Amino acid sequence: MTSAHDADATRIVVGLMSGTSGDGIDAAVVRLGPARQQVTESAAERTGTVVIVPRSTEVLLHHHEAFDSVTRERVLAAATAAPAELALLHAELGRRFADASRTALAAVGLGPGDVEAIATTGLTVAHIPPAADGPGATLALGDGDVLAERSGCLAITDLRARDRAAGGQGAPLVPYADAVLLRPSDHVRAALNLGGIGNLTCVPPAGDPVAFDTGPGNMLLDAVVAQATGGREAFDVGGARAASGRIHTELLEQLVADDEFLAAPAPKSTGRERYGAPFFDRYGARLARLSLEDRLATLTEFTVESVALAVERVRGEGLLPEPPRDLVVSGGGALNLHLMQRLARRLAPLAVIDSERALGLPALAKEAVAMAILGDATLAGRPSNVPSVTGAARACVLGKLSPPPVSARD
């Protein structure tokens, strides 16, 4: 194995992501190689930036392990679960993370001894950003000790917690990884991940990225489909139903006008606490009067408008030396053809392109790859939060380390 403290060493890291959609676990086996651009510590200190070293990144395998219906129900209900259920789910997710990692490694002929670490934020079941009345909190499930014991690998977990301890939001964390993937470049590039929540990152040629959550990604759309089909379907395949529906402009305008998150300044992050049950408590009756197709068309446009407002904020507030020229989209939303078409139309002349075509990175693998990149930084002892993005008081090395079983060590 390579030295964990060599920042430019070639190493294999497994990244795991289980997001707010609650559909399962994405595992990416990633080989990180030599730096594509040299960035010195002294230059970073002078400009106040986090040291971001663009690394060659090869995805050896992406594996998705879907949750069965019972587990998905437990995950979606976790925000209101009793402590005993949270404890049991914490351990269960540690086992499931380990099994997803082992399956992915076996598929490429690798074992625990070939891997430097498995890295994950865990599954976030509560995300309460800091506010005037308190520091906020984040709770992520997926027991790192269970993951290490069952997988035989070093586990790096709870990646959001240290940023939160330093006064940050603990999100978004992907901007560091976006900069690793999108640099070097001679112009501003942007990345949009559309999982349950939308996250925008704008990466200048040098210096800190600008990033924040945009609002709903697929969360509202998936919830409407699941409810309308009694759980038989989890999402609108390709956006076909939304494409056949009609946008109810009056309701759309109300959704945008009512949503104070969209107008809030960065740093900001959000989650199921805003766009889960509370959203449907507020708007469910009005949405129920529409056909399924019209509901999906209107909520799709709500996602599009939230992204557009975020891009306009970046353009209009002088946060970057120039507007971004392209938008690289990943996550489940990148597979929604209707959503992608609506984004391209709304954001023109900005080029909207999926991560597969732009980076050779499968759209559903992006967040898991980001976890591997964050884990790689932790192994190198390199901070990988971006305080200007999260609001943290300082740059932090992220994650809690659970060593592998003694018998699994070299």
pLDDT at 143: 98
Residue 373 lies in a domain: yes
Between CA 110 and CA 112 the distance in angstroms is 7
Residue 288: per-residue pLDDT: 96
CATH code of the domain in which 246 resides: 3.30.420.40
Q: Write down the pLDDT at residue 43.
A: 47
Q: Which residues contact 186 (CB under 8 A, 6 or more apart)?
A: 205
Q: Which of 318, 343, 359 is the last residue of a domain?
A: 359
In a domain, 5, yes or no: no
**Nearest one of 314, 328, 48 to 185, comparing CA atoms:** 328
* Structure token digits, residue 216: 């709903």
pLDDT computed for residue 408 by the predictor: 55
Question: Do 245 and 337 belong together in one domain?
Answer: yes
The burial class, CB within 10 Å (0-12 / 13-18 / 19+), for 119 is buried
Q: How many residues belong to the chain? A: 410
CA distance from start to end of the chain: 9
Tokens 């945009």 — which residue? 214
Nearest C-alpha neighbor of 215 from the set 232, 235, 230, 193: 193
pLDDT at 37: 67
Examine the domain organization and report whether 254 and 341 are in the same domain: yes
Shared domain for 152 and 277, answered yes or no, is: no
Do 74 and 213 sit in the same domain of this protein? no
Pairing label, strands 123-128, 137-141: antiparallel
Residue 296, pLDDT score:
98
Phi, psi at 269, each rounded to 5°: -150, 160
Name every residue whose Cβ is closer than 8 Å to that of residue 143 and which is 6 or more positions away in sequence: 90, 91, 93, 94, 157
C-alpha–C-alpha distance, residues 249 and 294, integer Å: 11
Residues 382 and 273 in one domain: no
User: Which pLDDT belongs to residue 129?
Assistant: 78
In the prediction, which pLDDT does 3 show?
Answer: 42
Determine the Cα–Cα distance for residues 201 and 209; give it in Å rounded to an integer.
7
Same domain, 314 and 330: yes
203 and 80 belong to one structural domain: no
Number of structural domains in the chain: 2
The answer on 152 and 15 residing in a single domain is: yes
Assess whether 295 and 372 both reside in one domain: no
Range of the structural domain that residue 111 is part of: 11-178+365-408
**Ordered per-residue pLDDT tens for the chain, 410 residues:** 344 445 568 999 999 999 877 889 999 999 999 877 666 554 444 444 678 888 889 999 999 999 998 998 899 899 889 999 999 999 999 999 999 999 999 999 999 999 999 999 999 988 887 876 778 888 999 999 999 999 999 999 999 999 999 999 898 899 999 999 999 899 999 999 998 899 999 999 988 899 999 999 999 999 999 999 998 898 999 999 999 999 999 999 999 999 999 999 888 888 888 999 999 999 999 999 999 999 999 999 999 999 999 999 888 777 788 889 999 999 999 999 999 999 999 999 999 999 999 999 999 999 999 999 999 999 999 999 999 889 899 999 999 999 999 875 55
Between CA 105 and CA 119 the distance in angstroms is: 14
Q: 160 near 124, Cβ under 8 Å? A: yes
State residue 38's pLDDT score: 61
Same domain, 95 and 133: yes
Q: Is residue 3 part of a domain?
A: no
**Same structural domain for residues 75 and 190?**
no
